[in-house]
Amino acid sequence: MTDTRERWALILGASSGFGEATALALAADGYEIAGVHLDRREGQRHADEIRARIEAMGRRAAFFNGNAADDENRAAVIGRVAAILAERRAAGAQPYVRVMLHSLAFGTLKPFLATAPGDAISRRNMEMTLDVMAHSLVYWAQDVWRAGLFGDGSKIYAMTSEGSTRVIASYGAVSAAKTALESHCRQLAMEFARLGTGVTVNAVRAGVTMTPALMQIPERDKLIAHANDKNPMGRMTTVDDVAAALVALSGDGTQWITGNVIGIDGGELVSG
């Protein structure tokens, strides 16, 4: 049966990369969009453009600029989204958060071992990276669920990478965050299922993709060359490859897909 409810997507990291592409692709598929991002001037201007593009498609767009790992910000955003959905309900719609995408890139890229302590990862770096890139998923999932914004058929996705199982020099803290993020997805998938919520949770492992976050990685040139060489499709993954797959995975008939790490990489990981 067709879902006649009003589908919303809550995109954490909506102003760039996978988050931006997925917000636009879901809007084109009929979703209303709530986006969270952390940007200064130029980034804010870009976020405004994305919001305008979504509205030009005839969809609603509510964007919030602030740290998604901050408890007060999270409460404020969820409160605002809940109020918007309540207004929609009062107007006769049946809105719910169909998709929540965790796509935050905010990690410290330093090796664990360096002679000068400032060149190596610190406790603060490690904790911040794990908090933003992994643990914040759990707190958003908890609070969106407690606010009653999910519904039967809701899907939570979190962006992971090959770095959850592979090692490069600067990626130790992010690697740990990816491993934790995949574990959090499994745990949330199991708990949401046992509570009979109808909410599914999957990690999405994208191939190496040209985005601002990739360009921050000191070893980016090697990663890009390796991905171009290794990917059996003959090119790197794009943000649109991932966005299109997320739209398809968020369609009807996907409620049995939960607790996985889903590769969207053109076969990059498995190619020798």
Ligand X SMILES: NC(=O)c1ccc[n+]([C@@H]2O[C@H](COP(=O)([O-])OP(=O)(O)OC[C@H]3O[C@@H](n4cnc5c(N)ncnc54)[C@H](O)[C@@H]3O)[C@@H](O)[C@H]2O)c1
List of residues contacting ligand X (CB under 6 A): 13-19, 36-39, 67-69, 103-106, 132-133, 159, 161, 206, 208-209, 211-214
Please identify, using beta-carbon distances, which residue of 67 and 197 lies nearer to ligand X: 67
- What is the nearest approach in angstroms of ligand X to the Cβ of residue 103? 4
Please identify, using beta-carbon distances, which residue of 65 and 254 lies nearer to ligand X: 65
Please identify, using beta-carbon distances, which residue of 30 and 212 lies nearer to ligand X: 212
Residue that has been written with the tokens 């909506």 in this structure: 14
Local structure of residue 209 (DSSP, 8 states):
B
Please identify, using beta-carbon distances, which residue of 189 and 239 lies nearer to ligand X: 239
- What is the nearest approach in angstroms of ligand X to the Cβ of residue 68? 3
- What is the nearest approach in angstroms of ligand X to the Cβ of residue 270? 16
Pairing of strands 61-65, 200-206: unpaired
Residue 124's CB is within 10 A of a number of other CB atoms, namely: 9
Instruction: Tell me how many degrees the CA angle 218-223-225 measures, rounded to the nearest 5.
Output: 125
Q: Give the H/E segment covering residue 7.
A: strand 6-12
Closest residue to ligand X, Cβ-based?
17
- What is the nearest approach in angstroms of ligand X to the Cβ of residue 91? 29
Please identify, using beta-carbon distances, which residue of 6 and 217 lies nearer to ligand X: 217
The tokens for 225 are 């060359």
Distance from CA of residue 272 to its chain's centroid? 28
Q: Where are the alpha helices (DSSP H) in the chain?
A: 17-28, 41-56, 71-90, 123-130, 136-146, 172-194, 212-216, 220-230, 239-249
- What is the nearest approach in angstroms of ligand X to the Cβ of residue 245? 13
- What is the nearest approach in angstroms of ligand X to the Cβ of residue 43? 6
Pairing of strands 6-12, 95-102: parallel
* Positive or negative torsion for Cα 1, 197, 253, 204: positive
Please identify, using beta-carbon distances, which residue of 105 and 149 lies nearer to ligand X: 105
Among 204, 253, 232, smallest CA distance to 100 is for 204
- What is the nearest approach in angstroms of ligand X to the Cβ of residue 134? 9
Among 230, 221, 227, smallest CA distance to 170 is for 221
Q: How far apart are CA 236 and CA 30, in angstroms?
A: 28
Please identify, using beta-carbon distances, which residue of 43 and 111 lies nearer to ligand X: 43
